[in-house]
Amino acid sequence: MRCEEVQDLASAWLDDELSEARAHEVAEHEANCEACRAYVIDLRFLAEQMTGLGREPAPPGLDERIRVSLAEELGAEELSAEELSAEERGAEQFSRSVIPASTPRRWRGFVQQAASMAAVCLLSVFGTWAVLRQPDTVSTTRHDVVAAHVRSLLQNSTIQVPSSDSHTVRPWFNGRVEFAPPVKDLTAEGFPLVGGRLDYVDGHRVATLVYRHSLHTISVFVWPETPGSPAGKPLAQVEGLNVLSWTKDGMVWWAVSDMEPAEMKELRALL
C-alpha cells in the first residue's frame, strides 16, 4: 500500500472499521514505514485530546430552570390528558404541513421552544467547531513537536546518532535533510549534547538535537525559516511539557522539555 492510502484509512483502522484483510495491510505498512507510524501516533494523540471536548457537567439546577421556563411559556399550567392527546395528533399533522396562523397559542409556544432548542444545538455545534478551528489553541507545529518528543521518550532511545561531538552529529544529517543544522555541544554550560535524530514536523523532515540537563531530556527541533514558517511564540505548557519557539540566523527552533521555564530560556540564549 502507498502512504497516501494508509493515511486515508488510518482513522477507520484505529476505530476497527476495516475488513480483516484491509486492516492487516494497513498494519503491515504502518509497522515498516516511519512516516506513517508517526502519522498514526499523532492521530491517536489528537483523538485522545478531543475525547473530553464538550463534556462539561451541566450546572446544578439547570433541569429545574428549564422546566420553569417551559411552564411559563405554556401558561404556567400542566396539559390535561385530552389536550396532550390533541396536541400529539397536531404534531403528526404538523410533520406533513405548515402550521396555520390560527394554531392555538399553547402549540405555538411549544413550536417556539422547539425552535429555541434547535438554535441552542446549532450554536453548541458551531461553538465546538470554532474551538477546534482556533489556530492559537494548539497549533499544528506545536502539536507535532510535542508528539515527536513524547514519542521519542517511549522508544528504547531518544536518538539515532549517539554522540556529544558536534562534528559527528552534524554530518550525520547529510542526505537525510536538505540543510545543515547548526549543532553545538553545550556541556560546559550545563546542557550536554546527547545526539540527534530525524523527525517529521509541519509536513517535512526536520533535524532534532537532543540535550540533557540534570535528569531532563530536551528535544530541540530545527529547520530553515521560510515565508510560511510560524513566528516565535512565548513559552507555553502543553500536557505538562514546556514548549518554546524562536527564530535565529534564518532557522526555526522549537524546544520541548519538562524542565523549568527559566532553564528553557537559558538554553534558547545558548543556541
| pLDDT attached to residue 242 | 95
Determine what percent of the chain falls in helix, strand and coil, rounding each to the nearest 5: 50, 20, 30
Helix (H) / strand (E) element for 171: namely: helix 166-172
Distance, CA of 113 to CA of 119 (rounded, Å): 10
Q: Is the pLDDT of residue 117 over 70?
A: no
Domains and CATH numbers, the chain: 3-51 (no CATH), 62-133 (no CATH), 140-270 (3.30.200.100)
Q: What is the pLDDT of residues 195-206, one digit of tens each?
A: 999 999 988 899
pLDDT at position 179 over 90: yes
CB 252 within 8 A of CB 241: no
Tell me the average pLDDT across 71-80.
62
Tell me the pairing of strands 216-224 and 236-238: unpaired
- The arithmetic mean of pLDDT across residues 71-91, rounded, is 57
- The pLDDT assigned to 75 comes to 67
pLDDT, mean over the chain: 78
The mean-pLDDT minimum among 26-30, 31-35, 61-65, 83-87 falls in 83-87
The pLDDT of residue 216 is above 60: yes
Please give the model's pTM, rounded to 2 decimal places.
0.52
Query: Which of 261 and 156 is assigned the larger pLDDT?
Result: 261
| Residues β-bridged to residue 42 | none
How high is the pLDDT of residue 9? Answer: 83
Residues 6+ apart with CB under 8 A from 46: 143
The reported pLDDT for the residue numbered 95 is 45
What is the average pLDDT across 211-224? 96
pLDDT in tens, 120-150: 555 444 444 444 444 443 478 889 999 999 9
Cα–Cα distance, 126 to 122 (Å, whole number): 6
Which ranges of 134-204 does DSSP label H, i.e. alpha helix?
Answer: 140-154, 166-172
More confident residue, 242 or 234: 242
Burial profile 210-221: b = 16 or more Cβ within 10 angstroms, e = fewer: bbbbeeebbbbb
